[in-house]
Structures are given as structure tokens and as C-alpha cells.
Amino acid sequence: MSDIGKVAIERDRVYSRHGWTFQERGAGDLAVLWGQNANTQPLFFWLIAYVYSTPGLLARLRTEIAPYCTLSDSTPLEINSMNLPGLFANCPLLKASILETYRTANEATSICYVARPVTIDDGAAPLVYPEPDQFLPDRFLKTDAESGKTVPRYGKLRSWGTGAAMCKGQTFAEREIMVLGAAIISLWDISPASGTWKIPAMIPGTGVKKPLTEMRVMITKRVPP
């Protein structure tokens, strides 16, 4: 059992405590694996692609993340510790970048019945999102009326659905992407192999759109700041 991850062991304890059969355990684990591979990983690809290819965004995010992601003084860089509550509460640009990625790459799987004809502009209506073809995370940043702080707001974005059909794992998925994003942004430099950034065209996927073509990049360890 020494080579089995803590998450798997803890899940087994929960299953045993509640008397789940092996068939029920399989169904529960399959749902988690589907969610991880259908949503989180593809969305994370688009987030990293946009963050590194959008001029000036990477530097802004590194500055925002730095107080909550303590790096080593060694080469190569390593993460010594990460203040997760601080990251979740005080990194509005990082969350806004995730919201903008939702807007551009979300491919919701609907289980609702459409009662009448409806036209959906694929998150690209200029009246709702000015310059819809541009990656502009600042569009989701607002000033809180009470605190005066800059905060991320979903606004009209409904990436997780609405009502009873709203995704129940949205907070977990969002925070998972924030942590992974902060780690990659803090430790790695990524540049286009061709010398020029080109975001691939998107095709329909399950939960998140897929790239039509491969995206070749060069990944190197970040030099200590």
C-alpha cells in the first residue's frame, strides 16, 4: 500500500464507512475521472496558452501570485510553500483569466430540454463582451462598492450552467485550476517553437473545446527573479 496515493486511500475509507459496493465505488470514481479529463485538463491547456501568449499578462500574474507562492533561492526554482487561502482570496487577475478562458473555450454539455428556438452567440456577442475575439481577463474585474478592492465577477457568464443543473463541483475545479496555474506560472517559461504565438482553432469537445491542431512550444525552467 506504500505506493498508493493518499487520495485513493481516503476515498476507500469513505466508501467502506458508508458500505458502498464495488460497483458503486466504480461509478463514483468514474465520475471523478471523467470530470478531470473532460473539463479540468483541457481548460488548463487553454488557460496556459492564453496566459503565455497574451502580451504583458504573464508578468502581471507573476507579480500578483508572488506573495502567496514562496519560491526557493536555489536553481532550478522550487515551490517551498503556497498560501492557498491567500491565493484564492487575493488573486483577482488569476481568477479573471480563468473566467475569460471559460468564455472562450467552454463547451457545455447540456442535459436540458429546449422548449423553443434560441440562438446562442457562443460567448462572443459584442454587446455583452466588447472585442469578443480578444483574450481580455480585465473584463471580469470589478471594483467592490464596499471594500474598494478589485474583485473578479462572473457577470453574465454562465459557464457552469444555471438552476438545478448547475455543476456541483465548480468551486473545486476552479480552485484546482488556480493552484495548478500558479505553480506553472511561477516555475516555468514557455515560448512558441516557431517564434510566433498562434492559438489553435477550436473544435467541439465534451465540457471544453479541443484544439484543431497541435501547439508546439519550448518549456524551460524559469530563471530566479
Annotated binding residues for heme: 167
Distance of alpha carbon 138 from alpha carbon 158, whole angstroms: 17
Q: Of 181, 220, 196, which is closest to residue 61 (Cα–Cα)?
A: 181
Please state the φ and ψ torsions of residue 165, each to the nearest 5 degrees. -85, 0
Residue 205 CB contacts under 8 Å (≥ 6 apart), including other chains: 38, 42, 107
First CA to last CA distance, the chain: 41
Is 141 within 8 Å of 154 (Cβ atoms)? no
Torsion of CA 152, 223, 217, 172, to 10 degrees: -30
- Determine the 3-state secondary structure of 35 from DSSP: helix
Binding-site residues sit at 167
Distance of alpha carbon 45 from alpha carbon 186, whole angstroms: 16
Q: Where are the alpha helices (DSSP H) in 36-169?
A: 41-53, 57-65, 84-90, 92-105
SS3 for 128-175, per residue? CCCCCCCCCHHHHEEECCCCCCEEECCCCCCCCCCHHHCCCCHHHHHH
